[in-house]
Structure 1
Amino acid sequence: MTAAPGTYESVSALVRRETSMVYDAGKEYLVEARLRPLASAVGCTVDEYVARLPVDPAERRKAVDALTINETSWFRDHAPYQAFTESMLPALLEERAITRRLRIWSAACSSGQEAYSIAMLLDQHLPAGWSYEIVASDVSTAMLERVTAGRYSAVEVNRGLPATHLVRYFERAGNEWQVVPQLRERVSTRHLNLAAPFLGLGTFDVVLLRNVLIYFDHATKYDILRRMRPTVGTNGYLLLGSSETTLDAPPEVADLWTREAIGRVQVLRPAPPTNGTRSLT
């Protein structure tokens, strides 16, 4: 980063304070690349822009949105979606045969590709008479606006989206592609910092918390996993990223979950309660 010494440290402290995410040394180039357009828009250097953030709430919100990790694609890594379709969904159809309703949480949803990928699979595989809701949450308000709009560039729809799905689930919107209304109406958004309490979310049959825990320190990661336990319904599923695990968690967190292999995917299931279990909230 070519900015003055101390600028990167100020930005790192801001991101950690606002989102609990950790920007380690070596990401200076990424920070400058994401803040430079915002600084140019208000006619100042990156150094001047960072100095302005403590006293400018509007620009601070823009900066946090820009610095939030937003890497995503359609059906990312493929294997979790295959496990969902072939194993998790059939099991849930048996478990929820009375209510015939599923709730899915896409935590740290970024621009919504994960949530809409699941929506496409449910549209294809959910039997008639069933309903579903997908809650997409993120700390970035800009990302949540994108999820609600469901609009993506040509470059974005080419990142993992099968051509048949583009034809079936998207409509032209100028130079972009927009998710069809019948899927958009199934996806609701929620502004949420994972490091803060999960208030009013209810319980879910599947929670996707993929490729985000790696950006938190150990204490925050373990606290998130602890507070996730009440959000996953009976016989539900929690999916982490391929490099994320509870194996290194302290017993009071690891014991809340049981690990289960579905093909190449490791999923977490709520462990049965035991006598003397402490409050999870």
Structure 2
Amino acid sequence: MAPEDFAFISGMLKQRSGLVIGPDKLYLLESRLSPLARRRGLPGLSELIAELRKPSAEELRRDVTDAMTTNETSFFRDIKPFEELRTFVLPEMLGRRQDRRQLRIWSAAASTGQEAYTIAMLFKEMGAKLDGWRLEIIGTDLANEVLDKAKAATYSQFEVQRGLPITMLVKYFQQDGEQWRLNQTIRSMVQFRQHNLLNGASGFGTFDVIFCRNVLIYFDQDTKRKVLEDLRKVIAPDGFLFLGGAETVLGITDRFRPLPDHRGVYVPA
């Protein structure tokens, strides 16, 4: 790839999604964008980039950004954060919100929906403890294609086997051939919206809990700082932020601090 083509596409991706692509990730561009080029009837990446440069190529720019955005996810991914949510964070918040009996949770970078639906199932498992409570779970992602799948809430055998306990599969899903469809009760607990984390979070209201896991690792330091400070603006003063296991606020911002003995959980500073 010509240096000027690489500079153009890497700059476009950083501006639109915050994704940092270095020269060592050229293979990633080729593996993810070559299929898109073929679908467009283009011989290769050089021709794809030539199309991207055209002022009228906004739809193609969206497709390229979506293709390059990592959408790795699974039900109960990494297990520990959801144990923290179930055994520590939710009991804490139920006590703190007893007067207004309302909880709002944001699954940022929700991808195909497994994280948000995992949270909804955990709420459902709490049963009578949440009688009379208003629960709101919002899942957002940059890519419309993965949001469409999240809204459809239909998953392959492989997807439901990754982390989902068999008891919850039987309780909350119906099999349809080789696919599994989440039941309407759980689906109705989650709203999905298209949103770019680089655009801040104004208009979303205040959240009690925010999951922003395995997102910051793709950003440079300045972008990480901006995203974290934007999250601080919409999290309740006594709320909780979940980051991925390889992520931290240390050395990036002083607007959050880690919670001792609760790895991956942060609170407003």
The TM-score with structure 2 as length reference comes to 0.92
2:163 to 160, 163, 167: 160
Partner of 1:61: 62
**Following superposition of structure 1 onto structure 2, how do residues 207-218 of structure 1 map, counting pairs within 5 Å?**
207-218=210-221
Look up the equivalent residue of 2:38 and give its one-letter code. Answer: S
- Partner AA of 1:109 in structure 2: A
* 1:8–1:31 CA contact under 8 A, matched in 2: no
Question: Any conservation in 2 of the 1:83–1:262 contact (CA below 8 Å)?
Answer: no
Aligned partner of 1:247: which letter? Answer: L
Give the alignment of 1:237-276 within 5 angstroms.
237-249=240-252, 253-254=253-254, 256-263=255-262, 265-271=263-269
Matched residue SS, 2:260: strand
Equivalent in the alignment of 1:192: 195
CA contact (8 A) 1:54 1:60 kept: no
Q: Distance in 1 between matches of 2:146 and 2:183?
A: 18
Superposed CA deviations along residues 201-241 of structure 1, whole A, max 9, x for unmatched, are 01111100111111111111111111211211132101111
> 2:89 is paired with a residue of what secondary structure?
helix
Question: Paired residue for 1:130, among 116, 128, 133?
Answer: 133
Which residue matches 1:104? 105
Shift of 1:114: 0.8
Q: Which residue pairs with 1:72 in the alignment? A: 73
Q: Deviations over 1:172-224 (max 9, x none)?
A: 24432221111111111122111112121011111001111111111111111
Q: Please give the alpha-carbon distance, in whole angstroms, between the structure 2 residues aligned to 1:37 and 1:173.
A: 29
What's 2:122 paired with? 121
In 1: Cα distance, 2:175 partner to 2:43 partner = 38
Residue in structure 2 matched with residue 220 of structure 1 by the alignment = 223
Partner residue, 2:27 = 29
C-alpha separation between the residues in 1 aligned to 2:17 and 2:189?
A: 27
4+ residue segments displaced more than 6 Å: none
- Quick one: structure 1 residues 44 and 115, their matched pair in 2 at CA, closer, same or farther if it must change by over 3 Å? same
Do the aligned residues in 2 keep the contact of 1:106 with 1:114 (CA within 8 Å)? yes
Amino acid in the other structure paired with 2:216? L
RMSD of Structure 2 on Structure 1 (CA) = 1.7
Distance 1:211 1:160 in 2: 17
Within-5 A mapping of 1:89-100: 89-100=90-101
Q: In the alignment, what sits opposite 1:139?
A: 142
Aligned residues: 264
Correspondence for 1:277: none
Q: Any stretches of 5+ residues in structure 2 without a counterpart? A: none
C-alpha contact 2:249 2:257 (8 A) present in aligned 1: no
Letter of the 1:120 partner, please give it: M
Q: Percent identity?
A: 41
Structure that is richer in helix per residue: 2
Contact 2:77 2:163 in 1 (8 A): yes
* 2:48 aligned partner, one-letter code: Y
Once the two structures are superposed, the pairs formed by residues 30-45 of structure 1 within 5 Å of their partners are 30-45=28-43
Match of 1:180 in 2: 183
**DSSP-derived class of the 1:195 partner:** helix
Is the 2:200–2:227 Cα contact (8 Å) retained in structure 1? no
Deviations 1:108-160 (A, max 9, x none): 11111111111111110252222311111111111211111112122222221
Q: Which runs of 5+ in 1 are unaligned?
A: 272-281
What is the alpha-carbon distance in structure 2 between the residues aligned to residue 199 and residue 154 of structure 1?
A: 38
Preserved CA contact (<8 Å) 1:237 1:270: yes
Aligned partner of 2:44 in structure 1 is 46
SS in 2 for 1:69: coil
Residues 62/266 of structure 1: CA separation in 2 closer, same or farther (3 Å cut): closer
2:202, 2:234 within 8 Å by CA — same for their partners in 1? Answer: no
